Structure formats: C-alpha cells, structure tokens
Amino acid sequence: MKIKTIKEIKDLKGKKVLLRVDFNVPMQNGEIQDDTRITQSLETIKYLKTQGAALIIMSHMGRPKGKIVEELRLTKAAKHLSKLLNTPVKKTENVLDDKVKEEAKKLKNGEILMLENTRFRPEEKDCDPAFTKELASLGDIFVNDAFSAAHRKHATTVGLADHLPTYAGFLMQREIEALSPIIEEEPIRPLTLIFGGAKIDTKIEVIKSFIDKADYFLIGGALANTFLVAAGFNVGKSLYEKDKVEIAREIMLECEKNRERFIIPHDVVVADEISETAETAHLPIEDVMDNMKILDIGKWTAEKFNNIIEKSGTVIWNGPLGLYEHKPFQNGTKLVASSLARHNCTSIIGGGDTADALKRVNVPAGGFTHISTGGGACLEFLSGKKLPGIEILKN
C-alpha cells in the first residue's frame, strides 16, 4: 500500500505541523501505567522538531462524549512527553479558542504545543466542517501518526485532510507496512484469532468478517461471558452484555459446522471480589454459581488455547483473557502469551490493553512479530476494511 509519508515533505523549516497522535494511554490513580503509545510516536516528533517545524500535537483520551472530564485531561501526557524529549511541551486548557489560536501563532521553530483532549469537543467526533476548518487554520501541514484511531472518521483523524497537505508519520507507516502482508497475501495457516477484553460491540463486526477467513477463534476475557450466556451457561455476577447475547448466539451457530473452531472457556477462575488479595477458585464452567464473578480463563482452557497456537501459522490477538490489572487474574493471559512468544509463527498483537497486559505478566515484546498500537483499528484493517484515517494518506 503506497501512502504519503513525512519524508516526502520538501522543507519543514518554519512550517506549523498539526500532528495527530494517540496518547490514549492506560491510567490508574491519575498516573500513566503504560507509555507505549507515547514512546512509539517519539520518532515522528523528533524528526519534525529537528527539521525545524513547530508542532501542534492533537490527541484524545477516553470517551468524554463531547464534554470536559477533568480526569481525562492530557496534562500528564504532556508532562511525560516533555520528560521523554527533555524539552518543554506547552499544553492548552482548551481544544480551540482565541487563546489557543494566539499560542499557536506565537509558536517558534522546534517548539511543541499540545492541545487539550480533542474529544472534549463534540465537533471532533462529528467531523464538523466549520470546526475542522477553524482547527486547520492553526497549521500548514497535517501529519497523521495515530494508527489506533485510523478507523474513526473524526475531525483530527480525517477532516483536516480536506484543508491541509496530509502525510503519514513514522508510526503510521510502520503499522501499515507490518500489517499489510496479512491482507495482501494469503496468511500462513492455520489462522487463529484470539479475542478477549471486555466489550463485544467493538469486536462483533470484526469476528463476523473473519468467519470465512479464520480457522480458529479463541474467546476469553469478559467478552467470553456474553458467549457463555448465549451457550446456556450461568455466569453468576460476571460482567456480560445482555443486549448482545443473541448476536453471540448467531455467531456460534455460524461456526457450528466445526465445534472445535469457535472455543469458549470450559473452566474459569472465579472470586467474590476484585482485589490483589482476592480468594480465587478454579472451576469447570458448569459449576459457576449465582454469587460468583468470572475473572479469568482456567488453566485447562489456557492449555486448549496453547495446543491450537502450537499448530497455527498465523495468530492475531486482541484483548487480555482475564482482569489482568490484578495479579490473581493474570494467569490465563500469561500462559497463553508465553506459549505464543515461544511458538515460531506470525504473531500480531493488537491494542493498548493487550500490550499493557504483556508487560504486566513479563512476557517480552521480542517474542512477537508485531505489537500494534491499535486495537479496533488493527482488527478492522486486517479484516480488509478501508480505514478513513489511512485512505486520506494514499498516493
């Protein structure tokens, strides 16, 4: 796939660059837990800075739904970036107003200004033309380095391309180059997809798009609870999506020709509470009772997953298999990650939570072919969908 990259810009000196990144990093108690998405964009930021451009950095964090949410401000991200670069990073209090325009106007070559969380403005998600045009007036060039937001048609991921010359940053370029062979060539089979995490709605269409392509689906995390309910099992007080049970049932029916193809947990780790000191029990799925919470896949399920991984030629993994933020519920993710890291196959890890989980369970990144900064974007790209944030970069 041919795209326009920042290396093609003839002269950056004196130019104001609107740079879209994704600094939507995992936070806990107000502190950054994993700075991978920030460090992955450093190459682009340093290049633009050393070439003499003034940078206006844009990012979102969380889902504030067009309103100001104090805990979702980008203040900590700006401070962390400043520390990594060993250079000042100014940050605005708002996304776009007269004060922001004045700050952008004063910006000198090599200086960096970070705008507040773009999703604090409803016009961002709506890709509002007037807002986008006003935002574009701050700069001369638009650089998109936010692969993980490339599946969103927002003002700062797509809209700015209507007003400014547009290029891909190095992170965007790396992601496309690493993932393109999976869709442009026949993947080495068997092709196995591992899905975890909490929500089914972000993965449902992707699962459907892979039904005719994938050889195996391995389902864990809270996502699996919805499928377990659809299969008739009691999940007690576990998190699941009631309104998605019927869709989950339809997917399993589509895969029913080969029951060994779509695998949900047959044993689980349960607890009454979520904490570092929680007392856990390892049970067959049939023995889960009304007062229990399923918080990890069991060791037999992990072993089943590993047996399939060991015979797979390509594995794509999105979403942790348990509530990995707490040690009592990390084992399923650790067992499967360790097996995949050892196996000599093409292995694609997608999503910030999955990458964060691998760090927490101490499985080195070097054991995988590619760790993508994108979750939904990675999956949608691999399913063959055209992502709006990438389409604007094509030659």
- Looking at the chain, the whole-number percentage of residues with pLDDT higher than 90 is 86
- Provide the pLDDT for residue 199: 79
Q: Please state, in angstroms and rounded to a whole number, the distance separating the CA atoms of residues 90 and 79.
A: 9
Residue 200: pLDDT above 90? Answer: no
Q: pLDDT tens across 12-28, in order?
A: 999 999 999 999 998 88
Query: Regarding beta strands 370-372 and 346-350, do their DSSP bridges make them parallel or antiparallel, or are they unpaired?
Result: parallel
Active site residue ranges: 37, 199, 352, 376
Looking at residue 212, its pLDDT comes to 87
Architecture of domain 189-344: 3-Layer(aba) Sandwich (3.40)
> What mean pLDDT do residues 147-176 have?
97
Asked if the model's pLDDT at residue 244 lies above 70, the reply is: yes
Mean pLDDT, the chain, rounded, equals 95
HSE of 74, CA atoms in CB hemisphere, 13 A: 29
Dist CA 174 CA 169 (whole Å): 9
Span 46-81, pLDDT tens digits: 999 999 999 999 999 999 999 999 999 999 999 999
**What average pLDDT score do residues 239-259 get?**
88
Model's pTM, two decimal places? 0.89
Instruction: Express each pLDDT in 85-125 by its tens digit.
Output: 999 999 999 999 999 999 999 999 999 999 999 999 999 99
pLDDT at 352: 75
Taking 70 as the threshold, does the pLDDT of residue 259 lie above it?
no
**106-120, 205-219, 308-322 — which is least confidently predicted?**
205-219
Alpha-carbon Rg for the chain, nearest whole angstrom, is 22
pLDDT at 260 over 90: no
Residue type at 108? K
Banded pLDDT at 132 (limits 50, 70, 90): very high
Within 8 A by CB and 6+ apart from 336, the residues are 194, 220, 302, 305, 306, 309, 321
- Residue 166's H or E segment, with its range, is strand 166-168
Do the domains spanning 6-176 and 189-344 agree at the CATH topology level? Answer: yes
Residue 147 binned pLDDT confidence (cut-offs 50, 70, 90) = very high
Residue 375 makes CB contacts below 8 A (sequence gap 6+) with 148, 197, 202, 318, 319, 350, 351, 352, 353, 354
**pLDDT-derived band at 183, boundaries 50, 70, 90:** confident
Mean pLDDT of the region 185-196 = 94
Query: Cα–Cα distance between 379 and 207 in angstroms, integer?
Result: 9
Where are the chain's structural domains?
A: 6-176, 189-344
Residue 142 has pLDDT above 90, yes or no: yes
Q: pLDDT-derived band of residue 258, with 50, 70 and 90 as boundaries? A: low
Say yes or no: domain 6-176 is CATH 3.40.50.1260: yes
